[in-house]
């Protein structure tokens, strides 16, 4: 068992086309948190604490320009040590990205030093049918994981006609839920699972199963994973005001 890292987002969707109506803080602070707990038990989760506060970095063209770039696979995120933006502990910047092609992101520390490179290779490329995420932390060997298990992907595709009907009904009625695409991802080194992104009590969370991970890298990975949500839901950095 390892530490648990997850995104806590008060503005998260409650259903397709819906959004939690919780009001954003009037003082302008960053209200999203990436939290950490020392283990998966209820007692350990109850002791969970804020690790960083993620926020997207808008270009000169504002939100519209950011959304246009993210459609091509780009992301520019910052992880704050506090909700009032007094100290940025890490930046996540796009090295290369193009629609339908692999995207590479660089994680930088507050001093600009490179901490890791994270690559996302989209599904349906070559002989691979699942999205592949690779994390290369400085001074460590790469860890790679494939999104979703083959069995659950098969199940999802079998029921996809029903899901489309539910999705259309949800958009019309403004309520209802559909099954998200399989998302569980396990990163391995030499066949050993070192990271596990799976569904938990508060949504999807990353379990760190091996020592040696820089907490800024695992937090950056959670920020990126949650910015690539299911096609049936809107990611947090697309919702941000």
pLDDT for residue 155: 53
Collapsing DSSP to helix, strand or coil, 138 comes out as coil
- Please check the confidence at residue 30 and state whether its pLDDT lies above 80: yes
Q: Is the dihedral of CA 9, 11, 17, 21 positive or negative?
A: positive
Cβ contact 89:52 at 8 Å: yes
pLDDT for residue 92: 98
Q: Higher pLDDT residue, 155 or 218?
A: 218
What DSSP assignment string belongs to 90-122? EEEEEEE--TTS-EEEEEEETTS-EEEEEEEE-
Give the pLDDT band of residue 152 (cuts 50, 70, 90): very low
Average confidence score pLDDT of the chain: 84
Q: Indicate the domain borders of the chain.
A: 3-239
CA–CA distance, 64 with 58 (Å, rounded to integer): 9
pLDDT for residue 127: 65
Q: What is the per-residue pLDDT across 154-198, written as a single tens digit (0 to 9) for each?
A: 554 455 565 555 455 545 444 445 445 667 899 999 999 999 999
What is the pTM assigned to this prediction? 0.84
Give the pLDDT band of residue 239 (cuts 50, 70, 90): confident
């Amino acid at each position: 068992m390892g530490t648990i890292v997850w995104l806590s987002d008060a503005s998260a969707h409650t259903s397709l086309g819906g959004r939690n109506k919780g009001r954003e803080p009037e003082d302008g602070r960053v209200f999203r948190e990436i939290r950490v707990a020392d283990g998966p038990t209820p007692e350990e989760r109850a002791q969970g604490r804020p690790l960083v506060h993620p926020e997207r970095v808008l270009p000169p063209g504002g939100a519209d320009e950011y959304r246009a770039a993210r459609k091509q696979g780009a992301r520019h995120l910052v992880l704050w040590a506090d909700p009032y933006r007094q100290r940025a502990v890490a930046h996540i910047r796009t090295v290369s990205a193009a629609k339908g092609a692999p995207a590479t992101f660089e994680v930088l520390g507050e001093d600009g030093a490179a901490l890791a490179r994270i690559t996302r290779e989209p599904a349906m490329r070559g002989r691979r049918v699942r999205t592949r995420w690779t994390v290369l932390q400085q001074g460590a060997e790469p860890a790679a994981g494939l999104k979703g298990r083959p069995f659950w992907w098969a199940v999802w595709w079998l029921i996809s006609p029903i899901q489309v009907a539910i999705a259309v009904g949800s958009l019309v009625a403004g309520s209802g839920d559909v099954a998200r695409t399989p998302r569980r991802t396990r990163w391995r080194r030499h066949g050993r699972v070192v990271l596990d992104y799976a569904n938990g009590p508060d949504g999807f969370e990353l379990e760190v199963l091996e020592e040696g991970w820089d907490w800024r890298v695992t937090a950056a990975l959670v920020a990126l994973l949650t910015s690539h949500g299911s096609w049936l839901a809107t990611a947090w950095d697309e919702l941000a005001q």
